[in-house]
Copies of this chain bind each other. A is one copy, B any other.
Amino acid sequence: MPTTTKDHPSKRPQLSRERVLGCALDLADESGIAALTIRSLAEAMGTKPMSLYHYVANKDEILDGIVDLVFSEISLPSPGGDWRAEMLRRGHAVRSALKRHPWAVGLLESRTSPGPATLRHHEATLATLRAAGFSIQLTAHAYALLDSYIYGFALQEAALPFDGPDTAAEITTPIVQLFSTGQYPSMVEIATEHVLKPGYDFGDEFDFGLDLILDGLAQRLAGAGG
Spell out A's residues near B (CB within 8 Å).
105-106, 108-112, 119, 122-123, 126-127, 130, 136-137, 139-141, 144-145, 147-153, 155-156, 158-161, 183-187, 189-190, 193-195, 202, 205, 208-209, 212-213, 215-217, 220
Contacts and interface: CB of A to CB of B under 8 A. Distances in A.
Contact of A112 (B126, B161, B216): B161
A126 B192 CA distance: 14
26 contacts: A105-B155, A108-B155, A108-B156, A109-B155, A119-B184, A122-B187, A123-B183, A123-B186, A123-B187, A140-B195, A141-B205, A141-B208, A144-B153, A144-B208, A145-B205, A145-B208, A147-B156, A148-B148, A148-B156, A148-B209, A150-B152, A151-B151, A151-B152, A152-B155, A155-B155, A212-B213
A191 B119 CA distance: 13
Give the number of times this chain occurs in the complex, counting copies.
2
Given A110-B159, A145-B208, A193 B136 contact: yes
Contact of A139 (B156, B160, B190, B212): B190
Contacts of A161: 112
Contact of A190 (B111, B136, B195, B212): B136
A contact patch SS: helix
Given A126-B186, A152-B153, A189-B136, A112 B159 contact: yes
A166 B144 CA distance: 18
B202 A212 contact: no
A28 to B, nearest CB: 14
B150 A209 contact: no
A137 B212 CA distance: 15
A220 B209 contact: no
Given A127-B186, A141-B208, A150-B152, 4 more contacts: A123-B185, A127-B185, A147-B156, A213-B216
Contacts of A153: 144, 148, 152
